[in-house]
Amino acid sequence: MAERKVSGSTGEILRAIREGRAQTRADLAGLTGLGRSTVAQRVGSLIASGLVIEAGDGESTGGRPPTVLAFNAGAGVVLAADLGATHCRLEVTDLGGAALAVHQQELDIEDGPDKVLTRVREAFADLLVEAGRAVADVRGIGVGVPGPVEWAHGRPVSPPIMRGWDGVSIPAAFAGWSDAPVFVDNDVNIMVLAEHRSVWRDLSQLLLVKVGTGIGCGIIVAGEVYRGAQGSAGDIGHIRVSGHDDVVCRCGNVACLEAIAGGGAMAAALRRQGLDADNSRDVVDLARGGVPEAVQLVRQAGRLLGEVLASAVNLFNPAVIVIAGDVAQAHEPLLAGVREVVYRRSPPLATQHLRIVRGQLGERTGTIGAALTAIEGVLSDAAVERAVATRGT
Amino acid sequence: MAERKVSGSTGEILRAIREGRAQTRADLAGLTGLGRSTVAQRVGSLIASGLVIEAGDGESTGGRPPTVLAFNAGAGVVLAADLGATHCRLEVTDLGGAALAVHQQELDIEDGPDKVLTRVREAFADLLVEAGRAVADVRGIGVGVPGPVEWAHGRPVSPPIMRGWDGVSIPAAFAGWSDAPVFVDNDVNIMVLAEHRSVWRDLSQLLLVKVGTGIGCGIIVAGEVYRGAQGSAGDIGHIRVSGHDDVVCRCGNVACLEAIAGGGAMAAALRRQGLDADNSRDVVDLARGGVPEAVQLVRQAGRLLGEVLASAVNLFNPAVIVIAGDVAQAHEPLLAGVREVVYRRSPPLATQHLRIVRGQLGERTGTIGAALTAIEGVLSDAAVERAVATRGT
């Protein structure tokens, strides 16, 4: 990643300390170009807020050894929820994203927002007890959902598999219980953030494709989640693939990628062949078990996904594409199909150094992403300025 | 566009003045949070460098009226070259991008870099005389070429229609004549920069599709040109379209968009029907003249382009797509075809506010973009810091 500009604001100073780019007040003065007294004053306010601690003496370069500054990941906690179609995972994490307590359960998103969010809030309360922290310690709440979200207000927008959630304010469900800010995003956006920050931080751009019941894509550009003009960027599940004009998608169009290569569509195809497959996990189990129909189907799904990703590579020229989600667990045939088509169809300059890899974070991908979404929100420049100003009065 | 953060560096202060976001030293102090003495010192160095002038008194809010600061677009000139396959346009502009002198001529890019760049340098020298400026006034040189470019070094990389240019340093051709920095980019990147800065500045993202002999796409994300990992982002001419697997492209793949819908391919198709069409301009002339074969061909090309752009809309969710280049001059049938497919195939959320429009800048698009590429390069943060430091010694 190109070196990030450091403006010298209190939030940027905190970020430089968090990311290990500065360890002392002198480092910060060098990095920002600010005078030592301004740096000292801003660091002082961060120490007063509890977000930065003095962690002992560094190495002397002659005179008195400088004090080493460190980010205090224990200054608060974050609540992270990864809500899938039928399953949820919840975590309490510290401000560095480390899990302090974890809960998983089956939970049908189509039970609707009242039931689902009440259950989430109750489980969060139990997890806080387990982690030995109070609701007052919660600095932020991050929630990932399996559908498009109006980011500014945390509201799902016409989500195809979340009946009853259209336009519902998810932050409102936590009002009165915690006054921490709530950040809600599409599952693929939180997943790509997790993989980027944890594994691929040096890349300025990244694509993450989730292949589960449906298919979607999260995008990082210039180090940040790219959402597009209406927040629908990455909606690759409804791109048309060739040779399937007889397949009608639930969106009303024909030959959508998801209607053929999604886990739900593949399970239906296997049922038509007399196999027992209810959902994408069953497809994966059959493929991993070596059932030829399933292996072939997953590989063919990989080829169709490859066709769509070849176009994405032409347009986007990423250095890495991460394949994640349930069906990516059946990784060999899926990734083989993807690679086969992408490397054949995309231009040499774009594929020369292109890597197509499986996600590295496993079942924690969603909660890490939800936690990081909240952490980056509450430690943003503007939020830190506000927090410091409040403590200062 | 989200409000740009202002770090308070000298380059950022200059940008705030150039873009009209600050008119006085007090505005700048408010915008940056810097103390008045720091602002005064940085503005002083910009005035000493000639880039900022004091333009008289502003409105008083009680006491002494504040001095209005203005960007001095006359502090230097920029040389801009838009090199096409068979034609070039050259301009001398001021630092605001206004043309001071213009030259156009037929020039075959495949005459090779020696001949072409010698001609460009001679024509630039003549234009400077015409504009009444000296080579020493040149602050930067911007060059657009019809092929992929390694941006950092200004070298074409395996360009398909620029025989003899592969790996040639374009900046080296100006060494010894002018010591101004030279910025070289792909034609679609300079075109999208021109349209964005001149027409769509408020949008944070923009796609511009050039339909000429070939087909390519320039991309703006977060207000800047997006190049991808290897600089090949936007290479949509080689995305596969459906139903044309019998068409072999010069790239070696089959069914590439450009091999069917590019101006060169359309001219060949018209020749096969007995019509007189050498190149994309002839295709446009025939279509505008109402020749049914040409009108039908251009509309069908629009549909195929629409197929590719529908995928781009799913992935990218732009607010505006600009269609430019020779063939866009035959705009009615081309845009009709594009719109027909994009609005049918892309998801409602992404097309709800999507506009597909023709380029607004006409034949100046390339030179405006080349000039702006150079201007933004020489007025970048780092470059301004260097310039100010040099003058200060």
Q: Which of B230, B307, B356 is the best residue to mutate to test the A interface, defined by the most A CB atoms within 10 Å of its own CB?
A: B230
B358 vs B335: CA distance, rounded Å: 8
Q: How much is the pLDDT for A386?
A: 76
> What single letter denotes the amino acid at residue B149?
V
Confidence of residue B120 (pLDDT cuts 50, 70, 90): very high
Residue with the two structure tokens 């890349």: A203
**What does the pLDDT look like over B51-99, one tens digit per residue?**
999 988 777 777 778 899 999 999 999 999 999 988 999 999 999 999 9
> What single letter denotes the amino acid at residue A70?
A
Position B329 pLDDT exceeds 80: no
Phi, psi (degrees; rounded to nearest 5) at B46: -70, -40
Q: Is the CB of A11 inside 8 Å of chain B's CB atoms?
A: no
> What single letter denotes the amino acid at residue B359?
G
Phi, psi (degrees; rounded to nearest 5) at B348: -50, -40
CB contact under 8 A, B350 and A253: no
B217 vs B239: CA distance, rounded Å: 12
- List the single range of A287-301, B283-297, B374-388 with lowest mean pLDDT: B374-388
A217 vs A265: CA distance, rounded Å: 18
- Start-to-end CA distance of chain B, whole Å, equals 38
Q: Which residues in B lie closer than 8 A to residue A7 (C-beta atoms)?
A: 5-8
CB contact under 8 A, B229 and A312: no
Alpha helices in chain A (DSSP H): 10-18, 25-32, 36-49, 113-131, 187-198, 257-261, 263-272, 280-288, 292-316, 331-345, 348-351, 365-378, 381-392
Q: Is the CB of A353 inside 8 Å of chain B's CB atoms?
A: yes
Q: What is the DSSP string of A167-230?
A: T--SGGGGTTT--S-EEEEEHHHHHHHHHHHHT-TT-S-EEEEEESSSEEEEEEETTEE---SS
Closest-approach residue (CA) in chain B for A225: B222
Instruction: Let me know: does B243 contact B227? Beta carbons within 8 Å.
Output: no
Closest-approach residue (CA) in chain A for B318: A229
Higher-scoring residue by pLDDT: A328, B42: B42
**Which of the 8 DSSP states describes residue A246?**
T
Contacting residues for B308 by C-beta, under 8 A, at least 6 apart: A311, B236, B239, B241, B257
- Choose the closest CB to B157 out of A253, A349, A353: A349
Instruction: Let me know: does B79 contact B95? Beta carbons within 8 Å.
Output: no
A341 vs B363: CA distance, rounded Å: 39
Structure token pair of residue B219: 């991309």
A170 vs A8: CA distance, rounded Å: 34
Q: Is the CB of B46 inside 8 Å of chain A's CB atoms?
A: no
Higher-scoring residue by pLDDT: B331, A135: A135
> What single letter denotes the amino acid at residue A174?
F
**What does the pLDDT look like over A179-237, one tens digit per residue?**
999 999 999 999 999 999 999 999 999 999 999 888 999 999 999 999 999 888 999 99
Task: Work out the angle at residue A91's Cα, subtended by the Cα atoms of residues A357 and A133, and round it to the nearest 5 degrees.
Answer: 145
A243 vs A341: CA distance, rounded Å: 15
Set out the domains of chain B in order of their start, with CATH numbers: 10-71 (1.10.10.10), 75-191+366-392 (3.30.420.40), 200-359 (3.30.420.40)
Q: Which of B13, B41, B316 is the best residue to mutate to test the A interface, defined by the most A CB atoms within 10 Å of its own CB?
A: B316
Q: Is the CB of B242 inside 8 Å of chain A's CB atoms?
A: yes
CB atoms closer than 10 angstroms to residue B362: 10
- Choose the closest CB to B350 out of A232, A308, A345: A232
Q: Which residues in B lie closer than 8 A to residue A240 (C-beta atoms)?
A: 242, 307, 310-311, 345
Nearest to B53 by CA among B42, B44, B66: B44
Full pLDDT tens readout for chain A, 393 residues: 334 445 678 888 999 999 888 999 999 988 887 778 889 999 999 999 899 999 887 777 777 788 999 999 999 999 999 999 889 999 999 999 999 999 999 999 999 999 999 999 999 999 999 999 999 999 999 999 998 898 889 999 888 889 999 999 999 999 999 999 999 999 999 999 999 999 999 999 999 999 988 899 999 999 999 999 988 899 999 999 988 999 999 888 899 999 999 999 999 999 999 999 999 989 999 999 999 999 999 999 999 999 999 999 999 999 999 999 988 877 688 999 999 999 998 888 888 889 999 999 999 999 999 999 999 999 987 788 777 766 543
Q: What percent of chain B has pLDDT over 70?
A: 97
Q: Is the CB of B318 inside 8 Å of chain A's CB atoms?
A: yes
CB contact under 8 A, A352 and B230: yes
Q: What is the mean predicted confidence (pLDDT) over B99-115?
A: 96
Contacting residues for B41 by C-beta, under 8 A, at least 6 apart: none
- Choose the closest CB to B217 out of A205, A228, A315: A315
Nearest to A134 by CA among A122, A144, A142, A125: A125
Residue with the two structure tokens 């008194």: B57
Q: What is the mean predicted confidence (pLDDT) over B211-220?
A: 94
Q: Which residues in A lie closer than 8 A to residue B200 (C-beta atoms)?
A: none
Position B165 pLDDT exceeds 90: yes
Q: Which of A157, A230, A258, A356 is the best residue to mutate to test the B interface, defined by the most B CB atoms within 10 Å of its own CB?
A: A230
CB contact under 8 A, A316 and B314: no
Q: Which residues in B lie closer than 8 A to residue A354 (C-beta atoms)?
A: 229
- Choose the closest CB to B5 out of A7, A33, A240: A7
Sign of CA dihedral A302, A305, A311, A313: negative
Instruction: Let me know: does A97 contact A371? Beta carbons within 8 Å.
Output: yes
Q: How much is the pLDDT for A331?
A: 67
Closest-approach residue (CA) in chain B for A318: B229
Position B391 pLDDT exceeds 60: no
Structure token pair of residue A246: 């007889």
Position B200 pLDDT exceeds 90: yes
The kind and range of the H/E element at B141 are: strand B138-145
- Choose the closest CB to A7 out of B7, B318, B344: B7
- Start-to-end CA distance of chain A, whole Å, equals 38
B280 vs B84: CA distance, rounded Å: 13
**Which of the 8 DSSP states describes residue A147?**
S
Sign of CA dihedral B306, B307, B309, B310: positive
**Which of the 8 DSSP states describes residue A55?**
E
A245 vs A214: CA distance, rounded Å: 19
Instruction: Let me know: does B104 contact B89? Beta carbons within 8 Å.
Output: yes
**What does the pLDDT look like over A268-282, one tens digit per residue?**
999 999 999 999 989
Residues listed for chain B: 393
Q: How much is the pLDDT for B6?
A: 55
Position B1 pLDDT exceeds 50: no
Q: Is the CB of B235 inside 8 Å of chain A's CB atoms?
A: yes
Higher-scoring residue by pLDDT: A309, B34: A309
Structure token pair of residue A365: 């991908």
Structure token pair of residue A262: 């999604």
Interfacial B residues in 158-217 facing A (CB < 8 Å): 158, 203, 205, 217
Q: Which residues in B lie closer than 8 A to residue A158 (C-beta atoms)?
A: 348-349
What does pTM read for this prediction?
A: 0.90
Closest-approach residue (CA) in chain A for B242: A242
